[in-house]
Structure 1
Amino acid sequence: MSKETQELTRNPNLIAFQTNLLAEYQEKNKTVKKGQTIFIGSSIMELFPIEKWEEAGEVKFDKYIYNRAVRATTTQFVLDHITTQIFDLAPSKIFINIGTNDIGFQVEPEIFHENYEKIIRQIQATLPDAEIFVLKYYPVNNVDFGSDKDEAVLFATRSNALFNQASEKNREMAQKLGVHFIDVSEGLADEHGNLKKAYTFDGAHLLPDGCKVILENLVPYL
């Protein structure tokens, strides 16, 4: 277990946040409209303000988009909470961006990819008519960021090279399991392949303007 993982598992504030957010999701799930679209993942997805935009009338799609992502989580977390995050909503479309923390927390690649495949197979078994979209990991920027302590820890085990390598494994998995693998990051990167500084507050997580780029790229699939 990496030092970063150990710190996170000992962080009572983070654990409390995750627990409270799951409880909030469980309560909201009682009144959701079935057959809609959901976003699943870790902080990259959780911070995506899609429901805020929908409620404000800024965006509108044929199907409502529910966000059930939870920050600082891994593929194992989704497996452990798959009912709350996915099955209770009985969605018709599922967009998944999970695994960057598996990489960052240095989970064994075999375990990480095995867990991801388990997630897909469980969805297929429980929701056979649902469309599943596995998202290519977004670029990061450790050139303009990484100078302070928190950013240095973040990028100690995360890089575009690692994310691209893992994305290719996810592409192979998606092809094998018959689900969609999509890259919706067009426009996020600069000429060097790094996440544009204007779209992020720490080099990895997106500001609302960055999320709008992603949403525009997602429109054909929504």
Structure 2
Amino acid sequence: MKRIALLIAFVSVVCAATSQTPAYDTTFRPNNYALKVEQFKSYPHSTSDIVFLGNSITANVEWRELLDMPNIKNRGISGDISFGVLERLDEVINGKPAKVFVLIGINDISRNIPDEMIVANYRKIISRIRQGSPETKIYFHTLLPVNNEFTQFKNHYNKDEHIAFLNSSLQAIAKETNITLIDLHPILMDANGKLDKKYTIDGLHINAEGYKKWAAVLKGSGVLK
């Protein structure tokens, strides 16, 4: 009876530990993922291209018009995660672009993908671009803050610790790999550490003023030259 009791206790502990570990799925792809990838592959490529790579925050603006640069290519897919970026990265690499600007990770966080796994994917993105297109300059953006005073994207709010961890990791990766890091997080943040309401429509995505602020950062830093 004592052995049975110990076994039951052990199983209970294991079950409890398992139930506390959020489930995650690295194979998730947005509904329009395949269509967008095929479209990207069908477009012309040039070694003068400047590629903006990421999720909806990248996809939601016309970068060519915002920055008045016809050689910019938008490779954002709404809802994408870092695993999705890795899966479609060859399309970017094969074009041998002049520059790649990456912003990815907030959807990974919302889907409970472990922080360390996301960081590993950042390193893989950098490594693969460097192996496949050594002349391409690589730029990463830090993750933007979010604002939980909105209600539309509850899985993305209240994840400040995860955002801070990834941004800190990106700082370290940038130093180790000699890529350029563009720190957007504090620029779009209010006094309470949240995404400033004047820059957002829903506490996650940014509005026209947010993109103008982002564009000003890029232009002011000289990274587009």
Same fold (TM over 0.5): yes
Mapping of residues 57-206 of structure 1, within 5 Å:
59-61=67-69, 64-84=71-91, 86-143=92-149, 145-146=150-151, 150-155=152-157, 158-185=158-185, 187-206=187-206
Q: Residues 103 and 162 of structure 1 are in contact (CA less than 8 Å); yes or no, is this contact kept in structure 2? A: yes
Q: Secondary structure at the match of 2:101?
A: strand
The AA in structure 2 aligned to 1:25 is F
Q: Secondary structure at the match of 1:151?
A: coil
Q: State the structure with more CA Rg.
A: 2
Q: Residues 39 and 95 of structure 1 are in contact (CA less than 8 Å); yes or no, is this contact kept in structure 2? A: yes
- The equivalent residue for 2:223 is 221
- The equivalent residue for 1:33 is 46
Would you identify which runs of 4 or more consecutive aligned residues in structure 1 move more than 3 Å? Answer: 1-6, 184-187
Whole-angstrom CA distance in 2 between matches of 1:182 and 1:198: 21
- TM-score under structure 1 normalisation? 0.81
Whole-angstrom CA distance in 2 between matches of 1:113 and 1:127: 21
Give, in angstroms, the shift of residue 187 of structure 1.
4.0
Paired residues in the alignment total 202
Q: Secondary structure at the match of 1:96?
A: strand
Cα distance, 1:199–1:89 mapped onto 2, change above 3 Å: same
- The equivalent residue for 1:24 is 39
Q: Which moved more, 1:199-208 or 1:159-168?
A: 159-168
Deviations 1:118-155 (A, max 9, x none): 11001111111111111111111112x12xxx422332
Whole-angstrom CA distance in 2 between matches of 1:189 and 1:214: 12
Q: Residues 110 and 155 of structure 2 are in contact (CA less than 8 Å); yes or no, is this contact kept in structure 1? A: no
Cα distance, 1:153–1:112 mapped onto 2, change above 3 Å: closer
Give, in angstroms, the shift of residue 70 of structure 1.
1.2
Give, in angstroms, the shift of residue 193 of structure 1.
2.1
Percent of matched pairs sharing the same residue: 24
Give, in angstroms, the shift of residue 113 of structure 1.
1.3
- TM-score under structure 2 normalisation? 0.80
CA root-mean-square deviation: 2.4
Q: Secondary structure at the match of 1:166?
A: helix
Whole-angstrom CA distance in 1 between matches of 2:217 and 2:204: 19
Q: Residues 186 and 217 of structure 1 are in contact (CA less than 8 Å); yes or no, is this contact kept in structure 2? A: no
- The equivalent residue for 1:50 is 63
Give, in angstroms, the shift of residue 97 of structure 1.
0.6
Q: Residues 102 and 140 of structure 2 are in contact (CA less than 8 Å); yes or no, is this contact kept in structure 1? A: yes
The AA in structure 2 aligned to 1:151 is F
